[in-house]
Amino acid sequence: MGALDLVMNEMQSRFGISETKAGSLVSALLSFITQGSGGINGFLDRFRSAGLGDTLSAWSHGNTRNISNDQVESVLGSNTISNLASKAGLSTSTATSALAFMMPKLVQSLAPGGAIPTRLPAELMSYVTGPTAAVAAGTRQAVYAAERVADRGVGRYLLPLLALLAAILLGFWLWNRGSSTAFNAEEQVRIAEQKAMSALTALRPGFSAQDLVGVLNLDIINFATGSSQIPADSQDFLNKAASVIRSAPSGTVIEIGGHTDNTGDSAANLQLSQQRADAVREYLVRQGVDASALVTKGYGDSRPIASNDTDEGRFRNRRIEFSVVK
């Protein structure tokens, strides 16, 4: 059994999370490492910058002492943790605790003896599987079971069956990887709201106007087709946003921009985008935001950020976008 499989098994029992969520958290963290600036060394530099260089060295040499949740946040940042938690379907607090438990074992696997590879070792690459991590884990479990059976001397009877099971699981995993790319708007809205709410909560006193709009733009206000009525599932976020906007630096003015895809008449789209921007402003003002701190502008379909040839592209183009005026 692989080292990270053991870690995931213990995470499941220790934190009461499912195999799927444990696998997804491992997968999301490894993807973050490989896609981040500087790769593995850049990831390890985060620990050094947080004053954990000695701890990092101890991990690499086999002393996998744990770190605190606060130290995990100092290394990864609250936004990254929220993102990893969302991908795994976990609460931020549970994900933080699981990461604190996982980090020492992961670093030991990444950099044994302090030797830092330029890419993930082959044994870890199999965990970078996105949302189907649990299926891949199941494939590995079947292979390990086959090895154990062979070691007991009865492999000539059961090994072919277990190998077939592993092949079926692997085939299902590969098929699922292809089919999992179907765009799901509701899921995108849910994940975006989770990220945005966590990021709003994480804003510290003294934040800048640019920090604020960066967080506001994490959310997706998914208006019904042809409607400018604020969706009910966006109201919690806007309520929280209003509270934070009221704490923005004095003199801050934020533009609420309305955007649509290119479906239908451009003039109608322009009018609808203005109505939606106005609706967001009116809602925030009703929650106590100074009206002079908010301006609106409808852009219609004139500023796409994605292709209008796909469902996902049109979804991304239909948006409310916040920007700093001053």
Name the phi and psi angles at 289, rounded to 5.
-75, 135
Which of these, 273, 257, 270, 262, lies nearest to 306 by C-alpha position?
Answer: 262
- State whether 166 and 272 are in the same domain: no
Residues 195 and 173 reside in one and the same domain:
no
The verdict on 225 and 318 lying in the same domain is yes
DSSP 3-state percent helix, strand, coil across the chain (nearest 5): 65, 5, 30
Query: Contact at 8 Å (CB) between 67 and 101?
Result: no
Domain edge (last residue) among 159, 179, 199: 179
Residue 8 one-letter amino acid: M
Whole-model pTM above 0.85?
no
Task: Chunk the chain into consecutive blocks of 10 residues (it has 326) and report each block's average pLDDT, rounded to whole numbers.
Answer: 69 83 84 77 85 84 81 89 86 89 82 72 59 44 50 53 62 53 76 87 88 91 88 91 94 95 92 96 96 96 88 89 92
Burial group, residue 296, by CB count within 10 angstroms (0-12, 13-18, 19+): buried
What confidence score (pLDDT) does residue 237 get? 93
Q: Do 94 and 173 share a domain, yes or no?
A: no
> Are 77 and 29 in a shared domain?
yes
221 in the same domain as 293: yes
Instruction: Read off the CATH number of the domain in which 319 is found.
Output: 3.30.1330.60
Backbone angles phi, psi at 39, to 5 degrees: 60, -140
pLDDT, position 26: 85
pLDDT at 171: 62
Q: What is the CATH number of the domain that holds 38?
A: 1.10.10.690
Same domain, 117 and 137: no
Q: Which domain holds residue 109?
A: 3-128
- Whether residue 137 sits in one domain with residue 118: no
Q: How high is the pLDDT of residue 61? A: 79
Same domain, 84 and 19: yes
Residues ≥6 apart with Cβ < 8 Å to 12: 18, 19, 22
Per-residue model confidence (pLDDT) at position 1: 42
Is 108 in the same domain as 230?
Answer: no
How many structural domains does the chain have? 3
Residue 317 sits in the same domain as residue 189: yes
Q: Tell me: do 296 and 197 sit in the same domain.
A: yes
